[in-house]
Amino acid sequence: MDRNELDPSVPSATEVKKIPLIIKVYAVLCILSGVGTLPSVAAFMWQVITALVNGNATEKLGDNTLVAVGLIVAGIMLSAASAVILIIFGLDLIKNQRRNAARLSYILIAFTVVELLVDVMLQGIGPFLLRPAIQLGILVALSATVDPTLRQERELQRRLQEMLDRDAAAEGMLGRDETGEGYIKLNYFNLFWVFFVCCVLGLIAEDIWHMTVDDPGVYQNRAGMLFGPFSPIYGFGAVLMTMVLNRFYKKNPIIIFLVSALLGASFEVFVGWFMQTAFGVVSWSYSHITLFGLPDPLVVLTGGRTCTGFACLWGLGGLIWIKLLLPRLLKLINKIPWKSRYSATVIFTVIMLVDGVMTLQSLDYWYQRVNGTEPDIPVAQFYGEHFDNEYMENRFQSMTMSPKDATRV
């Protein structure tokens, strides 16, 4: 009896296609890595418990003990979970279980990103980040390779999408969500240009706010990256707003306002906490803000990283963004010439990645110079020569560096 190709419970021809040998070799490495990691995680957990019992951790970390230990425990749990998933992932690859392997690759990608963030907060920027970074790159590539969709099918989909895009452009619907459930299509092309444009517009808006409200008539460079007129908090914030509010654009404005306020304030708190924890950097503080002459509850709860007034501004900003600005930005994005839109996206992605990596490295070596722990290596010498403390203070005028606020171990 012929197999029913329409039955989702029956593996398709794509799913039973054998995985290449090189990927199965990687699968074996995943299993070995997972098996080897579990005892190491257990041993490290024992060291942490011993240090806490003996008081050594408190002596070394001081006021930041609780946060640092919390991050260490989170990292240990994440490593243990990743090790188990790596073993299962490797076994699925060996057994040619493409669908399960694809799903696990997405989970591992998310875990690896969080692992990178935890490592940066605990140890800064260094060679130890290469392993998770390489693993992330391999997993991203594998997630596309092992996914049960043939390359020929993907090519057909790509060609079909090009035809649909051209039809949508002719109808003035290019970049819109074809399902009608959201406003904008959440693909990399659209989201990258939302990020890029809002990095610039956010910096301009913050400069104007500072010159008119915070310190009238006084200009201060509020840039957030080493090169260019970019403030990435607004870029990432706009991407987050777009992804979350996309399904809300037809909703009641009050709902959009409340969701935007909660989302924006939470994002502001996380970014402020991450920068202070990882690099000892404080870029803003609302500790002096009150609410009708009384302590602002959000200021108290978040350690001054956000306040009720700015949460409301986030809410208003999200409402204006999804109702007025995003539709106009989409029209602007669609003015990028058809033949060069993808090449332009790749070029500017590389530019922003290089700028982002160099920004993080410059902040890390700035921290180490102030802390007196700068290593005597060529990379540190390069940043010390070209981006010394004076340069960093002038470039990031809104930032204050205080190594004691970081939680590095």
Same domain membership, residue 187 and residue 89? no
- Using one digit for the tens of pLDDT, what is the confidence trace for 307-321? 999 999 999 999 999
One domain, residues 264 and 355: yes
The domain of 118 spans 21-145
Q: pTM, whole model, 2 decimals?
A: 0.75
Indicate whether 138 and 213 sit together in one domain.
Answer: no
Q: Is residue 301 included in any domain, yes or no? A: yes
Residue 54 domain flag: yes
User: Residue 149 pLDDT more than 80?
Assistant: no
Averaged pLDDT of the chain? 83
pLDDT for 166 equals 61
Q: Is residue 170 part of a domain?
A: no
Q: What confidence tier does 247 reach under pLDDT thresholds 50, 70, 90?
A: confident
Look at residues 119, 145, 171 and tell me which one is the last residue of a structural domain: 145
Q: Do residue 131 and residue 229 come from a single domain? A: no
Higher-confidence position of 228 and 335: 228
Domain contains 6: no
User: 331 pLDDT exceeds 90?
Assistant: no
Confidence of residue 170 (pLDDT cuts 50, 70, 90): low
Residue 222 lies in a domain: yes
Residue 151 located in a structural domain: no
CA distance 15 to 149: 8
| 76 belongs to a structural domain | yes
Number of domains in the chain: 2
Q: Are residues 262 and 399 located together in one domain of the fold?
A: yes
**DSSP-assigned letter for residue 219:** -
285-324 b/e (C-beta count within 10 Å ≥ 16 → b)? ebeebeeeeeebebbeebebbbbbebbebbbebbbebbee
CB-based burial, 190-227: b 16+ in 10 Å, e otherwise:
bbbbbbbbbbebbbeebbeebeeeeeeeeeeebbbbbe
Same-domain pairing of 189 and 137: no
pLDDT more than 70, % of the chain: 83
